[in-house]
Amino acid sequence: MEYNFKEIEKKWQKHWKDNKTYKVEVDNSRPKYYVLDMFPYPSGAGLHVGHPLGYIASDIFSRYKRSNGFNVLHPMGYDAYGLPAEQYAIQTGQHPAITTENNIKRYREQLDKIGFSYDWSREVKTCEPDYYKWTQWAFIQMFNHYYDNNADKAMPVSELVKHFETKGSEGINAACSENLTFSAEEWNAMPVKEQQETLLNYRIAYLADTMVNWCPALGTVLANDEVKEGVSLRGGHPVEQKVMRQWSLRVSAYAERLLKGLDTIDWTESLKEIQKNWIGRSEGAEMVFPVKDSDVSMKIFTTRADTVFGVTFMVLAPESELVNQVVTSDQKEQVAQYIADAKKRTERERMSEVKKMTGAFTGAYAINPLTNEEVPIWVSDYVLAGYGTGAIMAVPAHDSRDFAFARTFRLPITQVVVPHGEEPADTSKWDDSIDSKEGYLINSGFINGLDVPEAIEKTKEYIREKSIGEVKVNYRLRDAIFSRQRYWGEPFPVYYKDDMPYTLDESKLPLELPEVDKYLPTEQGEPPLGRAKNWKTEEGYPIELNTMPGFAGSSAYYLRYMDPKNDQKLVSTEANNYWQDVDLYIGGTEHATGHLIYSRFWNKFLYDLGEVCKDEPFRKLVNQGMIQGRSNFVYRIKGTNKFVSYNLTKEYDVTPIHVDVNIVHNDILDIEAFKNWNPEYKNAEFILEEGDKYVCGWAVEKMSKSMFNVVNPDDIIEQYGADTLRLYEMFLGPLEQSKPWDTNGIDGVHKFLRRTWRLFSDRDGQMVVTDEEATKEELKVLHRTIAKISDDIERFSFNTCVSAFMICVNDLSDLKCHKRSILEPLTVLLSPFAPHMAEELWYLTGHNSSVVDAQWPKAEEKHLKDDSVVYPVSFNGKMRFKLEMPADASKEEIEKAALAHETAAKWTEGKTVRKIIVVPGKIINIVVG
């Protein structure tokens, strides 16, 4: 029989399912290996050919590890809460649970056809109560813990309360929203409501008035990573800044650990770099500038304390509380007007007008604590409220923003750093600030003449001695806003008593998402849960109306897979101690600042609680590149219904039109299919080239319906089979690289599988595998392939694996090798890549057990070695001829033989041989001149 992929794939997929081939359990007798894919959001569009890329890679790796004796955990599930299903629900009234369930069904069908080795008994869906019970549980723990900076871990709030009762805030070093000072007496005298309000200042999950990204179009707030360039990541709607009372997670408390942890994990440099930038650690000094004629003082953060002699003004963020405290009565109106104007500017305008400086003078002056000089205090929105202290000292000579501001408002500019090899210059002639990273100090009192690094040190010392400020580390990373004013998400296990939030008892979990009549806000502007009937506790307290954001459910799913059915714990200690952490995580870079930060934070928190045994969840992470679309175009002559082939377009005035890539093969248009594709083209005429071809143009674009370049894996599987799809996705190029999907070339991979098949079976379907002894040559081919494939899998170089298989099968075909001792190990090698075919061949060669449990073959040194080496012989680095030598020939023998070669004379003639380089086993280079 010929290679009948349809039958084979159906047969083995059923076999695997019936025999629970991929089900795994804790097994302390075997080493574990955990391979994880980023679970998908099941969108209505289904999978396109780009989605499985990472899944195929991880599946190959899982199967490879299993063959090498590991107990491999390889689960899959769904990130089922999300905006698209809810938006669809608003439009159609269809419950998002139904939409989601349908989409999941579709995903599952598509995934099953590809032949993955997932243990589906461990499937999780984030929208299911048994699952989100643990999301809610984690939230309660975060509510009941605070971050103790001295212990450098999360600690129970109950202990904090005990401390307050006996010692007040004295001696507390905790991550908090605001530094509070109170005595034990004051604490004990506080009404309950005030105590609760105070505790929110410390809780890791806390409710507070914070500046949030409000997206009116989506009717919800968004986290920082969900906003890009002033618009929402999903949908691209404008986002504005607004103060709202919202739940947040105190991720910033973990900033240092999140940063340090990066050094312990095996992730790509680029991904670590993105996280490093996102965390944005900067070391500097916090300094206090007293305000003249006032008891108020301004605290500022600077990384360049050494430039303090160059300060010519101060700037406050418009949102800063200090503005009202310092503003003089005659400037009050102007400042108020400015702040009102600044508020009106959307985040987008603010960003697009970066160069345009706006601001207002407060009328107040600050006193430079080092020089005792008075400098004016301004308000401007170029200073951000959310970073540092919301106030800065401006050094216009050496900061381009301060410079632009000084020029706009005609403020003085004093140079304090002179780059090496330059002279002090007249700042009034400058077009921009000058760099101050290197150089020496001028106009700077006691640090004059010092180099920048020394000056920084000396200033810091001075500040500490005189108690003007303290050395401080600042992070850009902000707390994650955790409320969404939406329906389709996890309800908060929170109720309100006297306006203060309290968490439900754990025994009440899961708090299930209630039904609502509409998925829209209420008339009073409350979130959709405001429509739920009886949305209160048994005691009658109202329950929180917000729901959790998308990243809530995805922050610990990798832990749940370890023990998905446990109704007592998120994950049992036994399961967690066995599976520990994810050994290999494959997914896209787009989650760098979202999911991958949040889940690291979440995991560290659970680690602090002793719930999990590893501090970092993902040991190794590989980013698969994006599969871009490859669009095809036809060219219509303007004003006609006539289409001209690509290479003739120069002669006409044409409009390029996207054409469905599924009716184009190797850039040749299927004209009949095109006519039927759209009624508009029914009577189209064509100008063909090279006789009868219509050649299409092409371009690389995003894969999307509107570009008509979406390729569905189902179609590829229908035509070529899943094994071909798997192999081809890998053959396309390096895993990490982004590349366009181009169906051209898939034939080559399919042909390879058919050739492989023919090593086992003749045209009439007779097995031709023999028990003859393998030749030296055949063993060499096999063992080289074993070495290459094993090595390449370890390096995640799957594209070169496919090439290596092709070379191997080509060689074996040439050798007419049909020997069991060669073909069986080859089948095992092939099984991670083309599991269906490998199973069938394994079965046909007489095995009863599945090939997934076959032992991975070992490359034997003795079969890899050659008796002789073919040396390339170069003259002055240019290869001129080849020379075959015994592998054990000495350098001298090789030199002699090379010079004695008939072609050598031609290159040495009339020249002197100056040097001969012999690298044994590699190359010979003869230097002549």
- Contact set for RNA, span 813-852 (CB under 7 A): 814
User: Can you say whether residue 816 is alpha, beta or left, with left for phi > 0 and alpha for psi between -120 and 50 degrees?
Assistant: left
Stretch that binds RNA, among 11-19, 163-171, 224-232, 571-579 (CB under 7 A): 224-232
If one asks whether residue 925 binds RNA (CB under 7 A), the answer comes out as yes
Tell me the residue ranges of DSSP E strands in 368-431.
Answer: 374-379, 391-394, 417-418
3-class state of residue 396 by DSSP: coil
Of 278 and 833, CB closest to RNA = 278
- Return the residue of 120, 182, 387, 535 that touches RNA, per CB under 7 A: 387
HEC string of 790-813 equals HHHHHCCCHHHHHHHHHHHHHHHH
Per the structure block, which two tokens stand in for 223?
């986290």
Other C-beta atoms lying within 10 Å of the C-beta of residue 348: 14
> Is the Cβ–Cβ distance between 288 and 369 less than 8 Å?
yes
Other C-beta atoms lying within 10 Å of the C-beta of residue 732: 23
Stretch that binds RNA, among 186-194, 517-525, 821-829, 917-925 (CB under 7 A): 917-925
> Is the Cβ–Cβ distance between 160 and 202 less than 8 Å?
yes
Of 353 and 685, CB closest to RNA = 353
With residue 131 as reference, give the H or E element that holds it: helix 129-143
CB of 736 to RNA, least distance (A): 8
If one asks whether residue 32 binds RNA (CB under 7 A), the answer comes out as no
If one asks whether residue 879 binds RNA (CB under 7 A), the answer comes out as yes
If one asks whether residue 803 binds RNA (CB under 7 A), the answer comes out as yes
State residue 511 phi and psi, 5-degree precision.
-85, 110
From residue 345 to residue 384, the character string flagging contacts with RNA as x (rule: CB under 7 A) and all else as - is -----xx-xx--------------------------xxxx
- Return the residue of 65, 250, 788, 836 that touches RNA, per CB under 7 A: 788
If one asks whether residue 301 binds RNA (CB under 7 A), the answer comes out as yes
Q: Map the footprint of RNA across residues 226-265, applying CB under 7 A.
A: 228-229
**382: which DSSP letter?**
T
- Return the residue of 154, 253, 259, 732 that touches RNA, per CB under 7 A: 732
Other C-beta atoms lying within 10 Å of the C-beta of residue 625: 18
If one asks whether residue 273 binds RNA (CB under 7 A), the answer comes out as yes
Q: Who's near 884: CB < 8 A, 6+ residues apart?
A: 868, 869, 870, 871
Stretch that binds RNA, among 393-401, 553-561, 631-639, 655-663 (CB under 7 A): 393-401
From residue 487 to residue 526, the character string flagging contacts with RNA as x (rule: CB under 7 A) and all else as - is ----------------------------------------
CB of 515 to RNA, least distance (A): 37
If one asks whether residue 284 binds RNA (CB under 7 A), the answer comes out as yes
If one asks whether residue 551 binds RNA (CB under 7 A), the answer comes out as no
- Return the residue of 465, 639, 878, 884 that touches RNA, per CB under 7 A: 878
Q: Could you tell me which of 894, 896, 899, 900 has the C-alpha nearest to residue 922? A: 894
Cα–Cα distance for residue pair 101/104, rounded to 1 Å: 5
> Is the Cβ–Cβ distance between 855 and 67 less than 8 Å?
yes
Q: What is the residue-wise DSSP string for 707-756?
A: GT----HHHHHHHH-HHHHHHHHHHTS-TTS-EE---TTHHHHHHHHHHH
Stretch that binds RNA, among 173-181, 737-745, 826-834, 842-850 (CB under 7 A): 737-745
If one asks whether residue 580 binds RNA (CB under 7 A), the answer comes out as no
CB of 227 to RNA, least distance (A): 8
If one asks whether residue 880 binds RNA (CB under 7 A), the answer comes out as yes
Per the structure block, which two tokens stand in for 721?
């089979």
Q: Map the footprint of RNA across residues 587-606, applying CB under 7 A.
A: 589-590, 592-593
CB of 131 to RNA, least distance (A): 28
If one asks whether residue 697 binds RNA (CB under 7 A), the answer comes out as no
- Return the residue of 742, 778, 824, 839 that touches RNA, per CB under 7 A: 742
If one asks whether residue 399 binds RNA (CB under 7 A), the answer comes out as yes
- Return the residue of 225, 608, 611, 616 that touches RNA, per CB under 7 A: 225
Per the structure block, which two tokens stand in for 372?
């005792």
CB of 269 to RNA, least distance (A): 5
State how beta strands 697-701 and 627-637 pair. antiparallel
From residue 676 to residue 695, the character string flagging contacts with RNA as x (rule: CB under 7 A) and all else as - is --------------x-----
Of 299 and 508, CB closest to RNA = 299
If one asks whether residue 158 binds RNA (CB under 7 A), the answer comes out as no
CB of 922 to RNA, least distance (A): 4
- Return the residue of 157, 262, 673, 917 that touches RNA, per CB under 7 A: 917
State how beta strands 878-886 and 227-228 pair. unpaired
- Return the residue of 168, 310, 390, 835 that touches RNA, per CB under 7 A: 390
Cα–Cα distance for residue pair 604/366, rounded to 1 Å: 42
Q: Map the footprint of RNA across residues 748-767, applying CB under 7 A.
A: 748-749, 751-752, 754-755
Of 96 and 388, CB closest to RNA = 388
Which amino acid makes up residue 815? L
Cα–Cα distance for residue pair 754/360, rounded to 1 Å: 76
Q: Could you tell me which of 647, 612, 619, 533 has the C-alpha nearest to residue 267? A: 619
3-class state of residue 173 by DSSP: coil
Per the structure block, which two tokens stand in for 823?
């073909």
Q: Map the footprint of RNA across residues 403-422, applying CB under 7 A.
A: none
CB of 247 to RNA, least distance (A): 21
Per the structure block, which two tokens stand in for 898?
């090379």
Residue for token digits 């060499």? Answer: 780
If one asks whether residue 807 binds RNA (CB under 7 A), the answer comes out as yes
